[in-house]
Structure 1
Amino acid sequence: MEHNTTFPIKQSELDVLRDEASSYLKSVQWEQSARAKNRDKDGKDESILLYLSRANNGSNVEITSVSKTILALKKRLLPDSVAIPMYLNQTLYAVQEGLTLGIWIKDSYYDSSGLTSLNQNKSALDANGKREYESKMHTATAYMLFATAYKILNDLKPLASDDLSVMKQKFAGIPEVSLLSPIKGISCALFYFDKYLGHPEIVKTDKDVIDFSVVYFEALIDEIQLRKSTLEYTETIEDRTYKLENSEFAVSGWNNMFQGTAKSVEFNKIQFEQIVGNRDAKHFARRLTERMLSYDFEAKKNPFQELGGFMPVFMGYGIPGTGKSMLIAAIATRLKEHCDTLDIPFLFHPMPDTLISTFQGGSAEKMVEWMKPMQDPTKLIFAPIDDAENNLQERTAQGVSAGVKEVIGVFLRYTEGAYAVNYGNSSIGLFTNLPEMLDKAVISRVQGRFKIDGARTEHDFLDQDHLWWRKLDDTMPDFVNMQGPENYSYLQNQGLAKNMGEILNQVEKPSEARVHAIYDEVEKNFSTNQHLFFANLYKAMQDAFPFFSSRDVRNIQSAISLRLTDFDLEEDWFSNPEIYFKKDYDTKFNMLQELMRANMKGLDFSEIRRQEVVRYLDNVATIADTDFKRKVDARVNQLNIETAARKTFEGL
């Protein structure tokens, strides 16, 4: 659903609700359910769950006070300090502000959903009216708790420790969540929050209070997300965004920006020189990193985007075993190293393997959660999808799961369309052995493509072996007693190419037979420096490959634009960031334009256009023909086996 309207949350309106929020912190009363009390039987940490379940000293209803517990913590942890110490104070304040915002959101839902008038005429409602009233109360409570927890996370997450795994292990979950009414919802959530805070094992230092709060309110959001599908009357939640006045904070439906955004995934450090062959791929990867690093955080845009040299979606394809995973790691390594030097936040954000869910709608939800961080303009984001054919395979193929279709739907929506925001700071890379199995609409989103073809020359194979045996040579110097090549020093050909022209100068004619035939036919009537040559070539391609469309022509145009920006950034820009990287957007843009003009002087536009068109059309044909070829090869192989078997049999 589109988030079409944004409503402001005014500070003056929050001021009115703050007393109500702080009264909940002073005292709430909650009666534990029998189920929650008995949870210690199969709990993961018996002592904590036992403690939670016996929290009520024999009476059924207990009154707890978060503010008193925080004061008690202060006495226990920092007996000598007079004021409430900073972390405790910040937690108390964040929870109060979260509650205030949650109450505001609840009031807003009451008005927009018609719950206010149902509430006023409660005594006169018939059975249907009562059912609607209860249903809307549940939804109001869930959304209030969601917004409360979301605001608390927004305020406390930046202050929390990077690694919360120890705290998460201590945490035994929230025994129950009440959605019966807003008061019960808040009372239940604060009751268990308070009980955990009072447990001596949970809080050992004042910093633990913030860390625990983040773990607790993340768990509360997860609990509500689990119940979301059972809620009704959610239209007035999902069609709008509430934005807090004078702040970046916004609540937009049930979207949780903190999921998946917190931390960069770990990866093995690999340098480009350790990858053998793959000249095209390494060159592309270097250009990608230079372009991403040019992103301007102030202006929230990238000068390369304006010059036509940026690729929000690209694809690397090749046969198995040619170094896709190494290449992903090498791109991440290069970006991370430069980001560290330039003091830029970097997010390595690979697509998780567990994306496809068996629940209806579950895959779409997970995919939205994965795509969401790509809209964060405050960091550089590299988002590889390894073995892309698993999650993005052709939707019309037999047996494709509903989950795959959901994932593709979200991917298409976020890469082009109403949701597609690209500031020029994030790039999604599809890596696959089987490009022909990818969905056609997904492939058409790809603006840059390159082959990952591994070792290709005598020197490549020499170097691949050398990377292996040199480890033996280091440990036992005379053990590898073999003769080396005469006029080649190891790895000298594994460096990076100067530009794409160096790699493509051997591209004369298409390598795919069908494209070659079409190309030759068109060349009989037009020369390659005539615009009509390309118009007729595209038309003939479309006749042969019906799915070839204007989108493909646009992709060719963007590939040519990439070539026009195919120049090295100056060496000293990296060693001294003040010269370029730290400059304002307009200065960077002008400096790049100068480089581009200098670079274009030596280029022949019609030749570049021809090379890129040949490269792209070959790719289209390869993808179209591979599936057919695979079936033919399998059949030929089968026939060969049968023929050989017959001969063997006759010879017996």
Structure 2
Amino acid sequence: MEHNTTFPIKQNELDMLRDEATSYLKSVQWEQSQRAKNKDKNANDASILLYLSRAKNGSNISTTSISKTILALKKRLLPESVAIPIYLNQALYAIQEGITLGIWVKDSYYDASGLTTLNQNKSALDTNGRREYESKMYTATAFMLFASAYKILHDLKPHASDDLSVMKQKFAGIPEVSLLSPLKGISCNLFYLDKYLAHPDIIKSDKDVVDFAVVYFEALIDEIQLRKSSLEYTETIVDRTYKLENSDFAISGWDNMFQGTAKSVAFNKIQFEQIVGNKDAKHFARRLTERMLSYDFEVKKNPFQELGGFMPVFMGYGIPGTGKSMLIAAIATRLKEHADHLDIPFLFHPMPDTLISTFQGGSAEKMVEWMKPLQDPTKLIFAPIDDAENNLQERTAQGVSAGVKEVIGVFLRYTEGAYAVNYGNSSIGLFTNLPEMLDKAVISRVQGRFKIDGARTEHDFVDQDYIWWRKMQNTMPDFINMNDPKHYKYLSDQGLAKSMGEILQIVDKPSEARVHETFDKVEKMHKTNDHMFYATLYKEIQKIFPFFSSRDVRNIQSAISLRLTDFDLEQDWFENPEKYFKKDYQTKFNMLQELMKANMKGLNFSDIRRQEVIRYLDNVATIADTDFKRKVDARINQLNIETKAREQFERKD
């Protein structure tokens, strides 16, 4: 649903609620539920959950005070200091402001949803009225806690440490979240926050208070997001935006902008010209960057997605040493340079090597954390997975860890299915030497694929050497005493291709034997420009490769659509962004459509279809055969070694 109306949150209205918020920080009372108490009975005594669940002072009702706990922390951490240390102060102030804002949002919901009226006539309500009253109370409490947590994160996140993993390991979750009434909601939440802050192992320095608050309130938002679907009467929440006066803080329904605010990772700058060979890969990478840069931040859409020329998931594969890591850096370099020039935020977000966890569920959690930022519509995101076979290995293979299975589960869920949101601003690239080791379901998510095959021609090899020795020539001009090639200008082959057609030139027949054979067989039954040719071909291919499915056919279709959008953006547009990049979505879309029509005039649909089908099926066959071939080669090698060893052994004897 679109957020249509914006309401201001006025500072003077908040001033009137601040005393109420402060009173909660001074003291709240909470009676723990049995379930929360029993949460961790079996754990050892040092367990944080057990500590949280020990009710104090005989009775079941405990009174806690956040402000007292913060003062006690000051005494424990900085006994000499007179003033409250800056981080403790920041945390306390942020929590107070968060609660104040939460109360304001709750009052606003009371009025907008009619809960105020129900509350006034509470005693006269019939059964339906009571039900509506209770249901709205739940929703009011949930929204209040959400707004409070969201404001606290907004204020504290900039001051928290970049890496919160240690704090997250100490944190054992929030034992219970009460939504029965706003008072109960605040009391329950502050009770457990206080318990954590008072625990001797959690806070070791004043900065830890800020870090812990961020971890705690992120968890609270997650808890509320989990319950969101069961809340009723939320129309007056999702149809409006609340903006805080004189601030960049705003609340739009349940949107959580902090989910996956990731920081860009540093990388070495590399230009495409420094990469030798790899024509296909460089061409693909250049198209990818042009397409991502066309994303429209206003409407959160990419015109290339509508034209069928965008790839949320792609794969580059090739033998080791052909330049995968260089290619990743080159894509990132190109995107960053253009993004800086166009004043667009860019996130380079490679998958970390430490993703697979030995804890059950740990890998899934880390993977969700890694994939969440890809749904942030406010920046361009390039997310490479280098050596993808490590984390996305075929699940049915022997000895595959539970962690890998968890990671793949999350990957599949976020790339297609209910969770898959792609605005056309982010792209995941799988890079691998061993595509045949990747999980079949993962490979079927790949919409664009290209070979990274390194130097392939004499010119490629002479250029690779040239890039190396020209550094010496710059420092010692007379040292390189060799002749240059007669009819070739260095690096002139390393430029970018105009189009895919130029690279493929004429792919007329498959290079893989089994595909070639099938192709010939089907050609005897149908002409290649008959639609039935492809239907029959797919059916025959399925007999050889049972895992070939309609998703593969969809991937072929998207490869053909990519070829229709395989045109250059005008150089002029990059130099003068207002001519294209800064235009509104519809204008950009129309400009691209014109380019596409002009580009299609020189193309022949049945040729392109043939080329892309051959390219895809060859790829399927290569991946299927390589695995088998590798096993056979290894076995032959083993037998050769044994034979040789036997010969030498006999000679010695």
Q: Secondary structure at the match of 1:428?
A: strand
Q: Name the aligned partner's letter for residue 368 of structure 2.
A: V
Q: Distance in 1 between matches of 2:26 and 2:92?
A: 18
Q: Residue 310 of structure 1: SS of its match in structure 2?
A: coil
Aligned to 2:383, the other structure's residue is in SS state strand
Partner-residue secondary structure (3-state), 2:388: coil
Answering whether residue 7 of structure 2 is matched by residue 22 of structure 1, we say no
Question: What is the 5 A alignment of 1:83-122?
Answer: 93-94=97-98, 96-97=100-101
Amino acid corresponding to residue 289 of structure 2 in structure 1? T
Q: Deviations over 1:348-402 (max 9, x none)?
A: 1111222222222222222222222211111111111111111111111122222
In 1: Cα distance, 2:437 partner to 2:163 partner: 42
The root-mean-square deviation of aligned C-alpha atoms, in Å, is 4.6
1:218 aligns with 2:214: yes
Q: Quote the residue 1:445 is aligned against.
A: 445
Q: Distance in 2 between matches of 1:92 and 1:183?
A: 14
Tell me, what secondary structure is at the counterpart of 2:316? strand
2:380 partner letter: L
* 246 and 274 in structure 1: CA distance in 2 versus 1, 3 angstrom threshold: same
Paired residues of 2:316 and 2:432 also in contact (CA < 8 A): yes
Q: Identity over the aligned pairs, expressed in percent?
A: 67
Q: Aligned residue for 2:623?
A: 623
Distance in 2 between residues matched to 1:471 and 1:234, nearest whole Å: 57
Shift of 1:566: 0.2
Given the superposition, is the C-alpha separation of residues 363 and 445 from structure 1 closer, same or farther in structure 2, using an over 3 Å criterion?
same
Q: Give the distance between the partners of 1:18 and 1:339, measured in 2 at CA.
A: 43
CA distance in structure 2 between the aligned counterparts of 1:399 and 1:90, rounded to whole angstroms: 48
Contact 1:25 1:67 in 2 (8 A): no
Residue 642 of structure 1: SS of its match in structure 2?
helix
Question: Residue 64 in 1 paired to residue 60 in 2?
Answer: no
Residue type matched to 1:329 in 2? A
Unaligned runs of 5+ in 2: 30-62, 73-81, 85-89, 110-114, 116-139, 178-183, 243-249
Pair 1:471–1:235, CA change in 2 (3 A): closer
CA distance in 2, matches of 1:165, 1:191: 25
Mapped contact 2:26–2:65 kept (Cα < 8 A) = no
Structure 1 residue 477 displacement after superposition:
2.5
Q: Note the C-alpha offset of 1:265.
A: 1.3
Report the equivalent of 1:266.
266
Contact kept in structure 2, 1:28 and 1:187, CA below 8 Å:
no
- Superimposed CA distance per residue, residues 249-280 of structure 1 (whole angstroms, 9 cap, x where no aligned partner): 4686xx97636423111111111111111110
Aligned counterpart, 1:471: 471
Q: State the match for 1:115 in structure 2.
A: none
Label 1:191 to 1:539 Cα distance change in 2 as closer, same or farther (>3 A): closer
Check conservation: 2:106, 2:144, Cα contact below 8 A: yes
* Alignment partners' CA distance in 2, 1:501 and 1:168: 48
Q: 1:17 to 1:313 in 2, by over 3 A?
A: farther
Higher mean C-alpha deviation, range 358-367 or range 620-629: 358-367
The answer as to whether partners of 2:295 and 2:424 remain within 8 angstroms in 1 is yes
Q: What residue number does 1:246 align with?
A: 241
Is the contact between residue 21 and residue 100 of structure 1 (CA under 8 Å) also seen in structure 2?
no
The Cα offsets for residues 458-512 of structure 1, whole Å up to 9 and x where unpaired, read as 1111122222222222233323322222222222111111110111014221111
Deviations 1:306-355 (A, max 9, x none): 11101111111111111111111111111111111111111111112222
Map residues 41-80 of structure 1 onto 2, 5 A cutoff. Answer: 64=67
Relative to structure 1, the CA distance from residue 190 to residue 485 in structure 2 (aligned partners, 3 Å threshold; closer, same or farther) is same
Quote the offset at 1:451 in angstroms.
0.5
How far apart are the structure 2 equivalents of 1:271 and 1:535?
A: 42
How much does 1:177 deviate? 8.8
2 CA distance for matches of 1:598 and 1:588? 16
* 8 Å contact from structure 2 (residues 315, 430) kept in 1: yes
User: Who is 1:559 aligned against?
Assistant: 559
In structure 2, distance between residues paired with 1:327 and 1:301: 27
Residue 272 and residue 521 in structure 1: after superposition, are their counterparts in 2 closer, same or farther (change >3 A)?
same
Cα distance 1:482–1:436, how it changes in 2: closer, same or farther (>3 A)? same
Name the SS for the 1:283 alignment partner.
helix
Separation of aligned partners in 2, 1:437 and 1:280: 22
Instruction: Please say if residues 277 and 456 of structure 1, whose CA atoms lie closer than 8 Å, have aligned partners that are also in contact.
Output: yes
Residue of structure 1 in register with 2:376 after alignment: 376
Q: In the superposition, relative to structure 1, how do residues 550 and 21 fare at CA in structure 2: closer, same or farther (>3 Å)?
A: farther
> In the alignment, which residue of structure 2 is the partner of 1:360?
360
Provide the rounded CA distance (Å) in 2 between the counterparts of 1:638 and 1:194.
63
After superposition, give the CA deviation of every residue in 1:147-200 in whole Å (9 maximum; x if it has no partner).
74443113554xx36x95699999xx99999979853752674799899xxx9x
Q: 1:621 corresponds to which letter in structure 2?
A: A
Distance 1:87 1:389, change over 3 A: closer
SS in structure 2 of the partner of residue 276 of structure 1: coil
Question: Are residues 1:493 and 2:503 paired?
Answer: no
Question: TM-score when scaled to structure 1?
Answer: 0.73
CA spacing shift, 1:606–1:143, aligned 2, 3 Å: same
User: Aligned letter for 1:64?
Assistant: S
Report the secondary structure of 1:246's partner residue: strand
Pick closer, same or farther for the CA change 1:238–1:512 going to 2, 3 Å. same
Give 1:307-456 correspondences, 5 Å limit. 307-456=307-456
- Aligned to 1:322, the other structure's residue is in SS state coil
SS in 1 for 2:270: coil
Matched residue of 2:390: which SS?
Answer: coil
* CA-CA distance at 1:537 after TM superposition: 1.2
- Contact (CA 8 Å) 2:293, 2:339: kept in 1 or not? yes
Seen in structure 2, the aligned counterparts of structure 1 residues 98 and 326 have a Cα distance that, compared at 3 Å, is farther
For residues 393 and 218 of structure 1, the distance between their equivalents in structure 2, rounded to whole angstroms, comes to 34
Question: What is the alpha-carbon distance in structure 1 between the residues aligned to residue 573 and residue 359 of structure 2?
Answer: 50
SS in 2 for 1:328: helix
Deviation of 1:22 after TM superposition, in Å, equals: 1.9
**Aligned counterpart, 1:601:** 601
Contact 1:444 1:551 in 2 (8 A): yes
The structure-2 alpha-carbon separation of the partners of 1:308 and 1:178, relative to structure 1 and needing over 3 Å to count, comes to closer
Equivalent pair of 2:26/2:66 in contact (CA under 8 Å): yes
Return the offset for 1:305.
0.7
- Cα distance change on mapping 1:577 and 1:225 into 2, 3 Å: closer
**Runs of at least 5 residues in structure 1 that lack an aligned partner in the other structure:** 31-59, 70-74, 78-85, 106-110, 112-139, 204-211
Post-superposition Cα deviations, 1:22-56, rounded to whole Å, max 9, x if no partner, equal: 233773489xxxxxxxxxxxxxxxxxxxxxxxxxx
- What amino acid does structure 1 have at the position aligned with 2:342? L
Q: Cα 1:28–1:305, aligned 2, differ >3 Å: closer, same or farther?
A: same
**Distance (Å, rounded) in 1 between the aligned partners of 2:256 and 2:99:** 18
Deviation at 1:614, TM superposition (A): 0.5
Aligned amino acid, residue 513 of structure 1: A
Query: In the superposition, relative to structure 1, how do residues 143 and 326 fare at CA in structure 2: closer, same or farther (>3 Å)?
Result: farther
Aligned residues: 553
Superposition deviation, residue 302 in structure 1? 0.8
Distance 1:168 1:314 in 2: 30
Q: Which amino acid aligns with 1:27?
A: K
Give the whole-Å Cα distance in 2 for the aligned partners of 1:622 and 1:484: 38
Match of 2:187 among 183, 188, 211: 183
- C-alpha distance in 2 between matches for 1:548 and 1:471: 49
Residue by residue over 1:42-94, the C-alpha shift from the partner in whole angstroms, topping out at 9 and shown as x without a partner, is: xxxxxxxxxxxxxxxxxx9988379999xxxxx989xxxxxxxx999888634
Separation in 2 of the partners of 1:102 and 1:168?
33
Relative to 1, partners in 2 of residues 1:10 and 1:364: Cα closer, same or farther, differing over 3 Å? Answer: farther
Distance in 2, matches of 1:246 and 1:494, equals 51
Q: For residues 176 and 498 of structure 1, what CA distance do their matches in structure 2 show? A: 55
Farther-moved stretch of structure 1 (345-354 vs 538-547): 345-354
- In 1, Cα distance between the equivalents of 2:602 and 2:591? 18
- Per the alignment, in what secondary structure is the counterpart of residue 454 of structure 1? coil
Q: What TM-score do the two structures reach when normalised by structure 2?
A: 0.73
